[in-house]
Structure 1
Amino acid sequence: MFHAMIMAGGGGTRFWPRSRNARPKQFLSFAGDRTLLQSTADRIAAVIPPERTWVITGAAYTSESAEQLPEVPQDHVVGEPFRRDTAPCVALGAALIAKDDPDATIIVMPADHLIEPQAEFHRAALAAEQFANEFPDALFTFGIPPTFPSTGYGYIHRGEPAGERNGVKVSRVREFKEKPTADVAEQFVASGNYEWNSGIFVWKAKTILKQIQANRPDIHDACVRIAAAWDTPNRDEVFRKEYEAIKGISIDFAVMESAPLRMVLRAPYKWDDVGSWLALERHNPQDAGGNTVQGRHVGIDTKGCVIAVEPGHLIATLGVSDLVIIQAGDATLVARKQDEGRVKEIVDRLKQGGEQYL
């Protein structure tokens, strides 16, 4: 059967001050009223029912996740006791799903992406399921046709075509490329043979577990032991002990860069990883001055700004342009647009003195 796994354990430091330790990015809304986590669950619900959906998050966020997704079974909301990156997260989800459905096919999705139109995503997901059943030894990832030479995304070098289902084309992967320099990114886009790595995957549970076992047996064995103890009184003790001993690593580094059979599906939908506050511009309307505003704002001679204000507060601007101004509780961020990618530096500084604001 087809199962969904949502990875919702990230911290979202690039979205400070809205994203905090107590309420990270995936629990925030950026376009409409639904949070990113809810939007991700909504997106896959037309393809996979909630009873076959799993959410892997941090132990501190299980209650929030379950509250936002009441339709997902509570025992499918899994809280990692330690943050260990995406490879252990994937292994854990696959081991838990395979325990009850050894022949399961899984779509793995980050909780913090925006995708439109929904129908195109559904078409692509169903095509990926077909491909996974036809090529059960392959690992599939969705590639996004690049619209500009981004230096913020990893790239996938597309190889020879391998088929088409539901109008969705799949090719073998030649190589995964890390985030490139500007010149290299321009070469990638100009060649027409590269796609952005979206971090959305489809595979058979047994296949990804086999590949993790081959590359990181420590992660595989720990997660299999956790799954074996899942329905026993010792679950929490085993979970904590085994997970603490794991050395964190991403699924890209652990498996995808070296797996023997990797395939990339060319995504037919529009995708945004909501990687910075400038995403508000891409998904919300602008006023006459080109400003994107959420909340109460009074502006005079204000142009091209991104402004987000919580209820009960007012932001007033005079004679400014191209700023990012984000108010959240007891903290406000003001940055030039060109510097908003450096928000993590603020977070790092606060870790040295000012943790009450994190």
Structure 2
Amino acid sequence: MNKNSYCVIMAGGLGKRFWPVSTRACPKQFCDILNVGKSFLRQTFERANQIFDTQNIFIVTGTAYEELTKQQIPEIPSENILKEPFGKNTAPCVAYAAYRIARVNPHASMVVVPSDHFITNDAVYLDNIQKGISFVEQFGGLLTIGINPTRPETGYGYIQIKKNKFSEFISKVKTFTEKPDKELAKVFLESGDFLWNAGIFIWKVEDIIEEFKTYLEDMYLLFEQEYKNVENPDSPENIAHIYGQCRNISIDFGIMEKSAKVYVMKGEFGWSDVGTWHSFHEISPKDENNNVSNSEQVRLIETKECIINVPQDKKVIIEGIENCIIAENNDILMICHRDHEDNIRHFDDMLKHTTKELN
């Protein structure tokens, strides 16, 4: 293991698109949505722990999820759980982690990974990560990992690569494009010049801090003054003070889309961000009618193209249904047509509003 490299697992977010399985009390990254016996977060930690010392792994999550994180990853030192008082997107998250690591090792390399993605080949994934670390340690710059697109997906961001490759695996980045419409996604796919943005970043701590200075100077000055040079920088009061002044901005928009020092490695591992029930359907085993179910207790009759996610002890019979999402958790049952999946992220608030009206 490389003692000079650190892994940061981003475990914020509410996973609203997976409601009611993912809730505010237990968001998607803490759930076993894939029914493999481990949460996304646990899987991500175990994968990282194969090449990073436990002491070199940091988890950034909401203050409310500190105990849930400790329950699922009891190995992690308490001081390695970086608690955000509220979500301000990924740029403050990256800045906080970079400055925290810099206190221990200012010349370290840093890998940033989401906590809730699906990886099919751990060995290749870890090999790609290690190659990425070697690259930034030798050449510097900001490295991200892209995935060869297999379909005109509109739910992912895209990275356009420059024709002149830096190496066999790595190219300079030409442009970033956020979630295109279907026609543009088809153009991207057919061109062969675009990769899906997997949201995985590799860089040296000193390099990313310098990029904050250049492109997000307000955030840079905030951490320089209110974190780097205070006696108890990780106190809840100090972090709340810092986050209260941070802009709500992603690392992609704030730095990656602006910097001239961005490279992309073509990832060779199977990947999905499992961001929607649709993507869950894509990666899950299906029956002869293209249904996906997480339980053997579910009986399907003349039912096609459905997604069923219910408690394991729940006996369910579904007859004559097509193209629906049926999900249950605690005392909530949701049935939604797959064409209307975008509405799911609003259902929790709608239900609370309805409950208030009834009361």
Provide the TM-score with structure 2 as the length reference: 0.93
In structure 1, the residue matched to 2:293 is: 293
CA contact (8 A) 1:142 1:267 kept: yes
In structure 1, the residue matched to 2:249 is: 249
Give the % identical residues.
32
In structure 2, the residue matched to 1:115 is: 119
Quote the offset at 1:314 in angstroms: 2.6
Quote the offset at 1:43 in angstroms: 1.4
CA contact (8 A) 1:176 1:257 kept: yes
- What code does the residue aligned with 2:198 have? S
In structure 2, the residue matched to 1:14 is: 17
Shift in CA distance, 231/125, structure 1 to aligned 2, threshold 3 Å = farther
Report whether the alignment pairs 1:153 with 2:156.
yes
Quote the offset at 1:348 in angstroms: 4.4
1:50 to 37, 51, 54: 54
Quote the offset at 1:350 in angstroms: 3.5
Quote the offset at 1:305 in angstroms: 1.4
Report whether the alignment pairs 1:139 with 2:150.
no
Deviation sequence 1:8-65 (CA, Å, 0-9, x none): 0111000000111110010011331111001111111111121100000000001111
CA contact (8 A) 1:171 1:264 kept: yes
CA contact (8 A) 1:99 1:227 kept: no
Structure-1 separation of matches of 2:79 and 2:165: 40
Moved more, 337-346 or 26-35: 337-346
Structure-2 separation of matches of 1:247 and 1:27: 26
- What code does the residue aligned with 2:104 have? D
SS at match of 2:167: strand
In structure 1, the residue matched to 2:5 is: 2
CA contact (8 A) 1:226 1:235 kept: no
In structure 1, the residue matched to 2:38 is: 34
SS at match of 2:58: strand
Structure-1 separation of matches of 2:178 and 2:352: 28
Deviation sequence 1:182-233 (CA, Å, 0-9, x none): 1111111111011111111000111111111222222223334454378638
- What code does the residue aligned with 1:299 have? L
SS at match of 1:163: coil
2:93 to 71, 75, 89: 89
Provide the TM-score with structure 1 as the length reference: 0.93
Structure-2 separation of matches of 1:305 and 1:355: 32
- What code does the residue aligned with 2:325 have? V
In structure 1, the residue matched to 2:310 is: 309
SS at match of 1:264: strand
CA contact (8 A) 1:294 1:307 kept: yes
In structure 1, the residue matched to 2:235 is: 235
- What code does the residue aligned with 1:19 have? S
Deviation sequence 1:54-84 (CA, Å, 0-9, x none): 0000000011112111122111011101211
Structure-1 separation of matches of 2:175 and 2:347: 35
Unpaired segments of 5 or more residues in structure 1?
Answer: none
Shift in CA distance, 67/226, structure 1 to aligned 2, threshold 3 Å = farther
In structure 2, the residue matched to 1:194 is: 194
Moved more, 182-191 or 236-245: 236-245
Report whether the alignment pairs 1:336 with 2:337.
yes
The alignment yields a C-alpha RMSD, in angstroms, of: 1.9
Deviation sequence 1:214-266 (CA, Å, 0-9, x none): 22222223334454378638822211112112121000111011012100000
Structure-1 separation of matches of 2:177 and 2:186: 14
- What code does the residue aligned with 2:129 have? A
In structure 1, the residue matched to 2:176 is: 176
Shift in CA distance, 289/91, structure 1 to aligned 2, threshold 3 Å = same
CA contact (8 A) 2:60 2:93 kept: yes
In structure 2, the residue matched to 1:206 is: 206
Unpaired segments of 5 or more residues in structure 2?
Answer: none
Report whether the alignment pairs 1:100 with 2:104.
yes
Structure-2 separation of matches of 1:258 and 1:127: 24
